[in-house]
């Protein structure tokens, strides 16, 4: 027994030391659950796992990009692949800036908790991240996050995984998430998560000032929320695509960072517009609705009624634009706004 323990102890201790959260002795169910979350999240959130996923999903996304007709959609997908390589892989781990990220605006890639707790030393980086993203979301829509810089879109838009979006048209839960309308339970989740993260940020900041002392097993509450949300729960949503559809992080309202950018986008300039409403009236195929990965099946009605479409749920993927057989749909953001103002 001593011989076997001597062989495996270094490996076990090395594995435990490599985990993200503090390891707890398996003396009760809570500790066991904590360690399980720690193991799963540490593996799924590890850089090497993200590199592996990036290579696989990036190839599928690149293949799909070559099939897109609309130039702007191809450009967005190119930026998405580039953002994953630089923003998710290179800068956080391999660049000379990797140890300075908390102090640099725009580097808190998923908002509060991404790079640790809230303290005076990182306020410029954290607040600056929210300011930069808010400006981008106001000018170009929340697609700057949900369709480009976030880790998720690369994994959602591969040729195989994207094809699974059709299943949520028939599942009981998925059908409740269809159209541009957000069910009350989604609004409740959205509000609850946002309030939870805000409270956690206040608690974390007061901890840093020494006013209070509150952690969970020595872990800052904001970092713990980020870890559970994006290194564990997101993958559960990912494998639920056949039931909830792609971008369930958006349609269910659980992603607090996406919610922030969507909220800014909802009062911003981005929307989808059409050139001729009559083309939508006479359209028999409604390809735009079938192509939408979020499941916004009522956009044609908005096009006919108002000549444009704007929704809290729209992430600006642009597959509706690419799928339209009449090339009738186009993106409207700060670029078109400026052309209208200064065309003379």
| pLDDT tens-digit readout, 105-143 | 999 999 999 999 999 999 999 999 999 999 999 999 999
Q: What's the pLDDT band for 77 if we cut at 50, 70, 90?
A: very high
CB atoms within 10 A of CB 118: 25
Element (H, E) at 71: helix 71-83
Note the pLDDT of residue 158. Answer: 77
Average pLDDT over residues 321-329: 94
pLDDT bucket at 1, cuts 50 / 70 / 90: very low
- Across the chain, mean pLDDT equals 90
Looking at the chain, the whole-number percentage of residues with pLDDT higher than 70 is: 95
Task: State the pLDDT confidence band at 201, using cuts at 50, 70 and 90.
Answer: very high
The number of residues making up the chain comes to: 344
Task: Count Cβ atoms below 10 Å from residue 314 Cβ, excluding itself.
Answer: 26
The pLDDT, as a whole number, for residue 84 is 96
| Terminal Cα-to-Cα distance of the chain (whole angstroms) | 85
Give the strand order in the sheet containing 271-274.
Answer: 308-309, 271-274, 329-332
Supply 124's token pair. Answer: 């410029």
The 10 Å Cβ neighbour count of residue 129 is 24
Token match 């949503």: residue?
A: 237
* Prediction pTM value: 0.90
CA dihedral 264, 314, 241, 287 (to 10 degrees): -170
Spatial neighbors of 178 by CB under 8 A, at least 6 apart, are 168, 169, 295, 296, 297
Average pLDDT over residues 23-46: 92
Burial of 231 (0-12, 13-18, 19+ CB in 10 A): buried
Given a cut of 70, is residue 58 above it in pLDDT?
yes
- The closest alpha carbon to 320, from 294, 297, 287, 282, belongs to 287
% of the chain exceeding 90 in pLDDT:
73
Q: Where are the domains of the chain?
A: 2-44, 53-167+181-242+252-265, 268-342
Neighbour tally for 215: CB within 10 Å:
15
Q: pLDDT band at 11, cuts 50/70/90?
A: low
The CATH classification number of 268-342 equals: 3.30.70
At 113 the three-state DSSP class reads: strand
Residues β-bridged to residue 216: 219
């Amino acid at each position: 027994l001593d011989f076997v323990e001597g062989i495996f102890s270094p490996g076990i201790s090395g594995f435990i030391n490599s985990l993200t959260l503090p390891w707890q002795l398996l003396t009760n169910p809570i500790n066991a659950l904590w360690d399980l979350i720690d193991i799963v999240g540490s593996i799924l959130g590890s850089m090497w796992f993200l590199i592996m996923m990036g290579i696989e999903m990036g190839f599928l996304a690149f293949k799909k990009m070559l099939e897109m007709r609309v130039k702007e959609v191809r450009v967005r997908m190119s930026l998405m692949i580039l953002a994953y390589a630089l923003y998710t892989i290179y800068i956080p781990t391999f660049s000379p800036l990797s140890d300075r990220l908390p102090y640099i605006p725009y580097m808190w890639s998923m908002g509060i908790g991404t790079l640790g707790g809230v303290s005076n030393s990182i306020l410029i980086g954290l607040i600056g991240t929210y300011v930069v993203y808010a400006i981008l979301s106001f000018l170009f829509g929340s697609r700057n996050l949900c369709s480009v810089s976030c880790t998720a879109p690369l994994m959602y838009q591969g040729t195989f995984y994207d094809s699974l979006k059709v299943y949520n048209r028939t599942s009981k839960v998925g059908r409740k998430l269809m159209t541009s309308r957000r069910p009350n339970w989604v609004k409740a989740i959205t509000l609850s998560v946002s309030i939870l993260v805000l409270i956690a940020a206040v608690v974390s900041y007061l901890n840093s000032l020494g006013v209070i002392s509150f952690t969970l097993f020595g872990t800052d509450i904001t970092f713990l929320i980020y870890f559970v949300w994006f290194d564990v729960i997101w993958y559960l949503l990912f494998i639920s695509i056949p039931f909830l559809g792609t971008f369930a992080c958006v349609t269910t309202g659980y992603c607090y960072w996406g919610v922030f950018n969507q909220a800014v986008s909802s009062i911003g300039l981005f929307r989808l517009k059409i050139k001729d409403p009559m083309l939508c009236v006479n359209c028999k195929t409604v390809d735009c609705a079938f192509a939408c990965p979020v499941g916004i099946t009522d956009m044609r009605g908005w096009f006919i009624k108002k000549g444009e479409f704007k929704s809290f749920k729209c992430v600006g993927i642009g597959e509706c634009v690419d799928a339209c057989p009449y090339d009738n749909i186009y993106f409207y953001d700060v670029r078109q706004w400026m052309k209208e103002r200064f065309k003379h």
